[in-house]
A and B are shown apart, each in its own frame.
Chain A
Amino acid sequence: MTALPSFAADIAALLAERGAGIADVPILQPANPFLDMAGEDLRRRIFLTESETGETLCLRPEFTIPVCRDHIASQAGTPRRYGYIGEVFRQRRDGPSEFFQAGIEDLGERDTPVADARSVADAHALLARVLPGVPLAVTLGDQTLFEAVLAALGLPRGWRMRLARAFGSKPLLEAALADLADPPRNGALPAPVALLALDGDTEALAAHVAEGMEQAGLPATAGRTPADIARRLIEKAQLRSIRLSGEAFAALKGFLAIEAPLADAATALETFAADAGLLLGPALETFSRRAEALAGHGLPVETIRYDAAFGRPLDYYTGLVFEIGVAGAERPLVGGGRYDRLLTLLGARTSIPGVGFSVWLDRIAAVREGAR
């Protein structure tokens, strides 16, 4: 499939109506930003090549990262919305390796709930335009709420991070929870180190580690520093003495089980928080304001569900995550979410919040075929 499908013109028109000017994204991209952001596993799913000078290049596997990089390079003002429609290239077991995606990246809007709701509304409008009469279902998740629950439970930083990373992946989350209930034992530490760690003596520990690094000929500046290792040793020593209480464990499980139509979701969360005696503060407020903003866009809210355990398995999502598909179908037509750290990771000097979505045109085409 190398020609745009017939309905692409409708999508382009919608992008223009929604104030998202088309971004000009080259097909050939430096591979490093993708591998850095999405992880090494992406390597086997993209098409890599090399320039004469040895730079690793790839065929554009998606648009979000190049759009953000171009935005940073051009030092464009914010807020700004970018639209795109074009081919992406991935090695897939099923389906062709060239296919079309379209979407909008919304950069720099400081009002999170407003920008979130608009992104979902844009994606929904896009699908409604090219799939008229097809019943759609929206699934919402919220990484920030999950992190707020972890913080409210008073979990130590190391555990919060581990659980937050596992969010959205059932097996990983279950493994992390199992470890929390029964923390694995560390190997025995040499006696002086064990004592220093228990005492929380960062300086003495760091000095000990620095000596060891020098003996091993490890460059002290190239990677982990003695202070990093000392800090984590102390953190681990503290964690070992903590068990997650049965109550906290139950609360965590109770939270992850919440699944409700959007109209009832805020109430369900408030009830949960009150029952568990937790304060979810700004995260819950953002959630409620987003829900209101979504209703304000005239979306059929009864088709929107909030699933507390729903996340998307990409390291860079920070808040809202969502998918939209044909009601009852397995594969989503749209995936999107908020990525407030991404632009900083890509080199932006100031923090630029972002939220966006991508639609799979080949999946839309399949639905249109089926509907005919």
Chain B
Amino acid sequence: MTVTLALPSKGRLKEQALEALAKAGLSVGLPQDERKYHARIETCPGVEVVFLSASEIAGEIGAGAVDLGVTGEDLVRETLAEWEARAEIAARLGFGHADVVVAVPEIWLDVDTMADLDDVAADFRQRHGRRLRIATKYRRLTQQFFTAKHGIQVYRIVESLGATEGAPAAGSADIVVDITSSGSTLRANHLKVLSDGVILRSQACLVTSRRTRAPADEALIAEIADKVAKAVG
């Protein structure tokens, strides 16, 4: 009887995840060697802790390879098709806040809402010989927001794995869908968020994988989720 808990392997997110667990009485005994990626929780010997990158954690939860994980809600929703069938958010942890937003050049003075963007996208091809291009690493969230929520069909996504905010100035895209916490990076790049352009207010979450498992494991997972939820609530 063991369950696997995946934690972010580095940075602020790792520290804050460890703090949240400690607050819930689940202190992780860190290995002496920083390069090791496994650990245990003294008070809870049935839990094996592994350290992975935050986006890998979302994927592994979806695949059912780990039982619990701390990762961003944005990554869960972006990485997993029909995420609700495969994962469940057990607790929102109150850190790692970031919004996934639609941002356009500030100088697009006529564009304030998604309806404006719909207008602009509709005759973009006629005017410029190509579709409106959106730079993003959030392909799925962008499609859901643009197509399913706002009925905007005609745009192209340009995959961007870094420095997305720079894409409009670089001429590789017209607008961006990106993550922002304070908005300062967007402002520095002369971009503005549309008034109804917040796709998701994301934060770090304790996520459980939905799959059938032994009742004892199930109980242990519920216990951990409960402790963490109470500690951060």
Cβ contact within 8 Å between A229 and B119: no
- Expressed in whole angstroms, the Cα–Cα distance for A161 and B169 within the complex equals 29
Return the contact of B112 from the options A35, A43, A158, A186 (Cβ within 8 A).
A186
Measuring CB to CB, which residues of chain A are less than 8 angstroms from any residue of chain B? 35-36, 38-41, 43-44, 158, 161-162, 165-166, 169, 171-172, 175, 179, 184, 186-187, 189-190, 193, 209, 212-213, 215-219, 222-224, 228-229, 232-233, 235-236, 315, 345
- Expressed in whole angstroms, the Cα–Cα distance for A179 and B150 within the complex equals 13
Return the contact of B128 from the options A179, A190, A223, A232 (Cβ within 8 A).
A223
- Expressed in whole angstroms, the Cα–Cα distance for A213 and B107 within the complex equals 6
Add 4 more A-B contacts to A43-B143, A189-B109, A222-B171 (CB < 8 A). Answer: A40-B153, A158-B119, A223-B132, A232-B110
B191 CB, nearest partner CB in chain A, Å: 9
Closest Cβ neighbor of B190 among chain A residues? A216
The 8 A CB mask of B111-149 against A (1 = contact, 0 = none) is: 011011011101101011011110000011011001100
Cβ contact within 8 Å between A224 and B108: yes
The answer to whether B41 has its CB under 8 Å from any CB of chain A is no
A36-B131, A218-B105, A224-B174 given; A229·B110 CB < 8 A = yes
* Complex A-B: 26 CB contacts under 8 Å: A38-B153, A39-B155, A40-B143, A40-B146, A43-B139, A43-B157, A158-B119, A161-B119, A162-B118, A165-B151, A187-B195, A190-B109, A209-B107, A212-B109, A213-B107, A216-B105, A216-B107, A219-B171, A222-B171, A223-B128, A223-B168, A223-B171, A224-B120, A232-B110, A232-B119, A233-B109
The answer to whether B154 has its CB under 8 Å from any CB of chain A is yes
The answer to whether B48 has its CB under 8 Å from any CB of chain A is no
- Expressed in whole angstroms, the Cα–Cα distance for A56 and B131 within the complex equals 17
B164 CB, nearest partner CB in chain A, Å: 15
Cβ contact within 8 Å between A184 and B190: no
Cβ contact within 8 Å between B110 and A233: yes
B residues near A166, Cβ cutoff 8 Å: 151
Measuring CB to CB, which residues of chain B are less than 8 angstroms from any residue of chain A? 81, 105-110, 112-113, 115-116, 118-120, 122-123, 125, 127-128, 130-133, 139-140, 142-143, 146-147, 151, 153-157, 168-169, 171, 174, 190, 195
A16 CB, nearest partner CB in chain B, Å: 36
Cβ contact within 8 Å between B110 and A236: yes
B residues near A175, Cβ cutoff 8 Å: 151
Cβ contact within 8 Å between B147 and A212: no
A41-B147, A229-B109 given; A315·B190 CB < 8 A = no
Cβ contact within 8 Å between A39 and B147: yes
Return the contact of A209 from the options B109, B118, B190 (Cβ within 8 A).
B109
A residues near B125, Cβ cutoff 8 Å: 36, 345
A162-B119, A224-B174 given; A41·B109 CB < 8 A = no
B184 CB, nearest partner CB in chain A, Å: 16
Cβ contact within 8 Å between A187 and B112: yes
Cβ contact within 8 Å between B110 and A315: no
A residues near B131, Cβ cutoff 8 Å: 36
Closest Cβ neighbor of A208 among chain B residues? B109
Cβ contact within 8 Å between B106 and A228: no
B residues near A345, Cβ cutoff 8 Å: 125
A residues near B81, Cβ cutoff 8 Å: 44
A214 CB, nearest partner CB in chain B, Å: 9
Cβ contact within 8 Å between B123 and A161: yes
Cβ contact within 8 Å between B119 and A216: no
A158-B119, A218-B107, A232-B119 given; A315·B153 CB < 8 A = yes
Closest Cβ neighbor of B144 among chain A residues? A41
A residues near B157, Cβ cutoff 8 Å: 40, 43
